[in-house]
Amino acid sequence: MLSFIGRRLLQAMFVLLIISFVSFMIQDKMGDPVRQMVGQSVTLEQREALQQELGLNDPMLIQYGRFLGRAIQGDLGTSYYYKEPTIDVIASRLPATLELSFAALVLVILLAIPLGVFAAIHPKNLLSRAVLLFSTLGLSVPIFIVAVFLMYFFAIEWGILPSFGRGETTSVFGLWQSGLFNRDGLRHLLLPSLSLAFVLTPIFIRLIRAEMTDVLQSDYIRYAWAKGISAPRIYFIHALKNTMLPVITVGGIQLGTLVAYTILTESIFQWPGMGLLFMDAVTRVDVPLISTYLIFVGVIFVVTNTLVDVVYSLVNPRVRIPGYS
Amino acid sequence: MLRRLLIILCLGLSSMMCLAVDLRVALDADPISLDPHEQLSEGGIQYSHAVFDPLVRWRQDGTFEPRLATSWEVQDERTLRLHLRQDVRFHSGNPLTAEDVLFTIERLKSSIDFKALFNVVQDVDKIDDYTVDIHTNHAYPLLLNILAYVFVVDKTFYEGRSEIVKFGQTFASTNVSGSGPFTVRDRVVGQRLTLVRNPDYWDTQSVGNVEQLELLPIRSDSTRLAALLTGGVDVISPVAPIDIVRVQRTPNVKLLALTGTRIVMLQMNQARRVEFQDIRVRRAMNLAVNQALIVEKILRGYGEPAGQLSSAAFLGHVSDLVPQSDLERARELMKEAGYQDGFRVTMMAPNNRYMSDERVALAASAMLAKINIQVDLKTFPKAQYFQFFDQQAADIMMLGWQSDTFDSNNIYEFVLACRDTDTGMGAYNAGRVCDRKLDDAIVLANQEMDVAQRVALLRGIEMRAVDQAWVIPLYWQPIIWASKQHVDLESVVNFLNFPYWGDLHVSVP
């Protein structure tokens, strides 16, 4: 176990090094941060003085070295716009994104498992065909279209749900601003999480259906039928458990994607999470914030992948991962 | 007139009609700091008008209205005497005196963003507690224009901790004491700024009844519009031209559009292309571009097609100079110049800086193709675009210039004057126009105190620029707001796009 985690940690460091290096190399292609912070009549000289002050005129490798030196001490830089350490800025926006992803994930599980199982058990049923049609639709329609449609109908035309923001938040233990514990916050959460769920559910429905169809053909299920075990027990205990392996793999990857790339959904619904933060940082060329965000996303991917591996061996003890006993 | 009527209405009817209301405003940007002197930007000045008071401010008709300065008189060519209001207190409780004005102007002179405007101020003398003399380096006709940027700050509150830092936190960027109609209650950077009415505000004549003003940055045009249509906010700006019809179709929402003074133009770089040194080519290009069509099709009829740089609100405006477009004549001119087969040029434009900028650039390049000028157009987000602009990286560059002084001469100084890195003149002259006689006129216009003579000077510059076809003016960008019907936005929004939120009256439905 320890050597497994150690090995992962090493891999993670390597991945993060590469990410930070790349994010540094693209910096000067993004534009001039000083220009974004000064008025039009500020002279070229004054702007150059500011650039000098920020150390933007040094060669890239020297800048990167300086960055690494500080990063080792836990300082990833100070955001130009927020004027606070970038880690703090991201941490303050993290709850919003995590709650949105969590809500979307709950919706996906609630929808995908029953529908996928149903479609596998009754392949010829009209509902199954409808579900498959819907899943094709969901796979092929991009999320911003779904989001805009949802907003158009639910918020603008029918006026039953709010169209932007996070609404009221309650403080949980003074650490976490949560929107999950009051009506207003939940109402705000519904549309963005629904649009995320809409594009994520289809892949899981299809996956579960395909795996389940496979499993239902296997010998041990036939034997279970012969033994006279009740249908729900066969479907949901014996069969479903074995369909879950690929679902967990794909789910882990998707979870990372979800947290990292809610950018579009957050921009459309003005959801004050990390994705929106990143979009704004790009427009403002807030370079320290952009680098920190990319590194942070890298961390999320490494962590979820590690977790997936651990869960994997819990669900199926036959699986062996090198270094993990 | 309208304001007086409203006061009478308020006094006459039961107080129910004039109840205080809360207002939510969604804008495309938020002020980067609570320090009014940190950045000279539209969002920054809008914020300053809410939390601070200027010495004077613009009326909708382009004249100046006394605010913290109640009256002013010219002492001599280089001295202006200001009399200050005596009943003003800052949010901290400190009284406002001449000391605060001295402190503020000194601070502005040291601010990176404002020093270009305030360099002309030599020093400020305190005559007594409520009188100051402002001395300028030379006779300066635009002194009141810059005094409209003097948002007086509380000396006792800020002194000793008043440094202005662009990339870092300062005391002033998070702590405020102004004298304005609102105080700052709460700011979540990038999410909202909540202001509440200052109960001790000196301007008791104001009809403003907004008790709590919430400013929300919503960057995406369609999300901002949806926020208004769903009732999530009461006022939004700007509205994208493509959404204007949608706003007009909605019964409880209204649109307010004004012609702004920002001139969007194309600059032809004569240092990069010999073709552009031929006046016939420049004239042909001006004739080939159909400004009226761009405004009609892309800006949906909002905004004003431009045949010159100065908008009608500016002194340099010449009403005879209307945009011309004549394809036949343009082709003839190209033929005369020997370019009937045309040539290829590069062009760059931003795609998120000005209203519909990318589409305008595309339309303009298609129009130039009609006289066989093949344009290779590249568009960039503003952050990258302005780097290219500084490098003059293409033959044709798009620029939208907003005069900070709301005077023609500022445009000429930055866009037409010869490039001079020492004085900062011509810093945005991507056409590499250089005409010494024009430069002399620009310098003169900055010192001419006689209005009639100054107008003659400015119009002379304008006519010369148009006659030489140095740039292709396109249009003056519109200022577009939308709000719920019961918000009396018309009385507070002006051609400067600095709404005076303190005076906004909202009737309770």
CA distance B309 to chain A (A): 17
CA distance B424 to chain A (A): 6
Q: What percent of chain A has pLDDT over 90?
A: 21
Contacts of A37 in chain B (CB under 8 A): 32, 39, 166-167
Q: How many CB pairs under 8 A join A and B?
A: 129
pLDDT (mean) for A160-174: 84
pLDDT tens across B40-79, in order? 999 999 999 999 999 999 999 999 999 999 999 999 999 9
DSSP characters over B66-123: ESSEEEEEEEETTEEEEEE-SS-B-TTSPBP-HHHHHHHHHHHHH-TTTHHHHTTEEE
pLDDT (mean) for A302-307: 82
CA distance A101 to chain B (A): 20
Of B113, B227, B383, the CB nearest to A30: B383
Of A81, A164, A284, the CB nearest to B232: A164
Residue A261's pLDDT is what? Answer: 63
CA distance B433 to chain A (A): 19
**Beta-strand pair B192-197/B210-217:** antiparallel
Of B112, B189, B220, the CB nearest to A46: B112
SS3 state of residue B275: helix
Contacts of A29 in chain B (CB under 8 A): 384
Inter-chain CB proximity B190 and A270 less than 8 Å: no
Joined together, the tokens standing for residue B362 give 């595309």
Answer whether B144 touches A (CB < 8 Å): no
Q: Which of A24-28, A111-115, A196-200, B101-105 has the highest mean pLDDT?
A: B101-105
| B contact residues 252-311, partner A, Cβ 8 Å cutoff | none
How far apart (Å, rounded) are the C-alpha atoms in residues A169 and A183? 10
Average of per-residue pLDDT values in chain B? 93
Residue A299's pLDDT is what? Answer: 85
Q: What is the DSSP letter of B17?
A: G
- Lowest-confidence segment of B144-148, B185-189, B332-336 by average pLDDT: B185-189
Cis peptide before A317 (omega within 30 of 0): no
**Beta-strand pair B131-136/B343-350:** unpaired
- For tokens 């003056």, name the residue: B476
Other beta carbons within 10 Å of B63: 9
Identify the residue with better confidence: A231 or B361. Answer: B361
Query: If you compute the radius of gyration of chain A from its CA atoms, what whole number of angstroms results?
Result: 24
Q: Positive or negative CA dihedral for A295, A300, A303, A305?
A: negative
A255 pLDDT higher than 50 = yes
pLDDT (mean) for B479-508: 94
Of A40, A80, A164, the CB nearest to B227: A164
| B contact residues 162-201, partner A, Cβ 8 Å cutoff | 166-169, 173, 189-191
- Lowest-confidence segment of B8-17, B61-70, B94-103, B268-277 by average pLDDT: B8-17
How far apart (Å, rounded) are the C-alpha atoms in residues B55 and A137? 61
pLDDT (mean) for B225-237: 94
Residue A143's pLDDT is what? Answer: 85
Identify the residue with better confidence: A178 or B87. Answer: B87
B196 pLDDT higher than 90 = yes
B98 pLDDT higher than 50 = yes
Contacts of B401 in chain A (CB under 8 A): 40
Answer whether B251 touches A (CB < 8 Å): no
Q: What angle do CA B466, B469, B471 make, to 5 degrees?
A: 95
Residue A323's pLDDT is what? Answer: 56
Which one of A36, A41, A151 would you mutate to disrupt binding with B, by most B Cβ within 10 Å of its Cβ? A41
Which one of A42, A97, A190 would you mutate to disrupt binding with B, by most B Cβ within 10 Å of its Cβ? A42
Contacts of A41 in chain B (CB under 8 A): 40, 113, 116-117, 404, 414, 424, 427
- For tokens 């993670």, name the residue: A12
Inter-chain CB proximity B402 and A163 less than 8 Å: no
B4 pLDDT higher than 70 = no
Contacts of B385 in chain A (CB under 8 A): 31
A322 pLDDT higher than 80 = no
pLDDT (mean) for A229-256: 83
Inter-chain CB proximity B381 and A283 less than 8 Å: yes
| CA distances to A163, B242, B247, B253, B449 from B226, in Å | 7, 14, 10, 12, 49
- Lowest-confidence segment of A57-66, A236-245, B330-339, B430-439 by average pLDDT: A236-245
B2 pLDDT higher than 50 = no
Inter-chain CB proximity A267 and B219 less than 8 Å: yes
State which residue of chain B sits closest to A274, comparing Cα positions. Answer: B190
Confidence bin at B3 (pLDDT 50/70/90): very low
- For tokens 């919430």, name the residue: B214
Of A42, A43, A156, the CB nearest to B230: A156
CA distance A70 to chain B (A): 17
Average of per-residue pLDDT values in chain A? 86
Residue B31's pLDDT is what? Answer: 87
Residue A260's pLDDT is what? Answer: 62
pLDDT (mean) for B143-160: 96
Contacts of B390 in chain A (CB under 8 A): 44
State which residue of chain A sits closest to B173, comparing Cα positions. Answer: A83
CA distance B40 to chain A (A): 5
Q: What angle do CA B419, B423, B424 make, to 5 degrees?
A: 60
State which residue of chain B sits closest to A163, comparing Cα positions. Answer: B227
CA distance B386 to chain A (A): 8
CA distance B182 to chain A (A): 23
Answer whether B236 touches A (CB < 8 Å): no
Inter-chain CB proximity B222 and A50 less than 8 Å: no
pLDDT tens across B413-458, in order? 999 999 988 888 899 999 999 999 999 999 999 999 999 999 999 9
Other beta carbons within 10 Å of B75: 12
Of B114, B169, B424, the CB nearest to A43: B424
- Lowest-confidence segment of A134-143, B168-177, B301-310 by average pLDDT: A134-143
Q: What is the DSSP letter of B305?
A: E
pLDDT tens across A36-52, in order? 888 888 888 888 888 88
B15 pLDDT higher than 90 = no
B137 pLDDT higher than 50 = yes
**Beta-strand pair B235-237/B64-66:** unpaired
pLDDT (mean) for B77-99: 96
Answer whether B227 touches A (CB < 8 Å): yes
Structural contact between residues B100 and B155, judged by C-beta atoms closer than 8 angstroms = yes
pLDDT (mean) for A230-255: 83
Answer whether B391 touches A (CB < 8 Å): no
A257 pLDDT higher than 80 = no
CA distance B404 to chain A (A): 8
Which one of B191, B236, B353, B415 would you mutate to disrupt binding with A, by most A Cβ within 10 Å of its Cβ? B191
Inter-chain CB proximity A41 and B222 less than 8 Å: no
Of B191, B229, B401, the CB nearest to A156: B229
Residue B16's pLDDT is what? Answer: 41
Contacts of B428 in chain A (CB under 8 A): 40
SS3 state of residue A79: coil
Confidence bin at A241 (pLDDT 50/70/90): confident
State which residue of chain B sits closest to A166, comparing Cα positions. Answer: B191
Confidence bin at A249 (pLDDT 50/70/90): confident
Tell me which residue of B39, B42, B52 sits closest to B152, measured CA to CA: B52
Inter-chain CB proximity A43 and B219 less than 8 Å: no
CA distance B205 to chain A (A): 34
Phi-psi region of B468 (alpha: psi -120 to 50; beta: other; left: phi over 0): alpha
Of A37, A41, A152, the CB nearest to B404: A41
Residue B18's pLDDT is what? Answer: 56
Name beta bridge partners: B401. Answer: B263
Phi-psi region of B162 (alpha: psi -120 to 50; beta: other; left: phi over 0): alpha
- Lowest-confidence segment of A263-272, B5-14, B325-334 by average pLDDT: B5-14
Q: What percent of chain B has pLDDT over 90?
A: 89
pLDDT tens across B338-354, in order? 999 999 999 999 999 99
